[in-house]
Chain A
Amino acid sequence: MVKSMIDWPHFTPWSSLAGGILIGVAAAMLILVNGRIAGVAGIVGGLLRPASGDMAWRFAFIIGLLAAPAAYLLVAEPAPPTIEAGYPMLVAAGLLVGAGTRYGSGCTSGHGVCGISRLSPRSLAATLTFMAAGIATVYVVRHVA
């Protein structure tokens, strides 16, 4: 019997809430100013389906994401990440995430943030589905395998 408990040393309610608000502001900007959904899988995946006049904003948004660590470094040193997965696992996971988000029409940002903000039942279903699959996967990796 595993007892569920909160991991207090790693729980960061305030910085996570603040970061979430920033993400919301960025998504608000993209829909109001550019008229686009801030769904990273859709923005990256759209580059593989080239259409004239539809590419510049995608590249610009992605360059913004890539530049974020450098911009953050001007203010603070980010904590080094902990990545448990080895390289073969990262390749398998990347393939699943890439194909899965495109078949499922969205990821954590497109469905989880923008879709739920639109109160879309489709996005809510997608979010509950990928969260359940993620929880089951971590359970198997950490507590069964």
Chain B
Amino acid sequence: MNAVWAFVAGLLFGIGLIVSGMTDPSKIVGFLDVAGAWDPSLAFVMGGAVLVGLVAFRVARRRTVSFLGGAVHIPNARHIDRPLVLGSLAFGVGWGLAGYCPGPAVVALGSGHDQAVVFVAAMIAGMALYEAEDRLFHARRRRRVPRELSDVAGDA
């Protein structure tokens, strides 16, 4: 049941990205190009999504179990640390260079665009680099953090 509902959520999420225009990298770059001809569309996408999200997370926070009876995995990390800032900086540079972030890139992969195939392959390689580094240098830290907690923090 979990998988069926996750599929429906993914499908809706992807259709939302297409309808909003966010699967077109030129619209992302157009939003980030505040010094040129600025396309504010992305702000409307985030505004619409957050409007619904505010209500959903208010409800989710009060629940102890999901509708399917499982745990509600809401991240509890609050600290603003180096990995958060440096990681987000690197992400922002890549986002500006290609006009793709992970969601729209995966949807564009579904359309079979060659550029999306190359981008997603490189993106997964980048994620694998993170996993390898994390395993090599932070093995002790990972062992101290309970599986569940570290997983939730990494999911934000």
Contact = CB atoms under 8 A, between A and B. Distances in A.
B57 A18 contact: no
Interface string A1-22: 0101111001111011111111
Given A24-B52, A37-B156, A104-B86, A31 B91 contact: no
Contact of A104 (B33, B88, B128): B88
A92 B100 CA distance: 12
Nearest to A31: B60
B77 A69 contact: no
Contacts of B39: 6-7, 10-11
A97 to B, nearest CB: 4
Interface in B110-156: 110-111, 113, 115, 118-131, 147, 151, 153-156
Instruction: Report, as a range, how many residues of chain B touch the other chain.
Output: 35 or more
Contact of A22 (B15, B101, B109, B147): B15
A42 to B, nearest CB: 4
Nearest to A18: B19
A5 B38 CA distance: 6
A91 to B, nearest CB: 5
Contact of A57 (B3, B18, B75, B89): B3
A37 B87 CA distance: 19
B129 A16 contact: no
B103 A142 contact: no
Interface in B41-99: 41-42, 44-57, 59-61, 63, 65-68, 70-75, 77-80, 83-99
B22 A2 contact: no
A64 B119 contact: no
B52 A28 contact: yes
Given A44-B123, A48-B128, 20 more contacts: A4-B36, A11-B41, A12-B21, A19-B15, A23-B13, A23-B20, A32-B60, A35-B66, A41-B102, A46-B155, A64-B8, A93-B94, A97-B119, A104-B88, A104-B90, A105-B154, A116-B46, A118-B74, A133-B88, A138-B33
16 contacts: A2-B35, A28-B53, A29-B5, A35-B71, A40-B106, A66-B14, A67-B7, A67-B11, A82-B25, A95-B125, A99-B129, A109-B13, A118-B53, A123-B156, A131-B92, A132-B92
Interface of B: 2-27, 29-30, 32-42, 44-57, 59-61, 63, 65-68, 70-75, 77-80, 83-103, 105-111, 113, 115, 118-131, 147, 151, 153-156
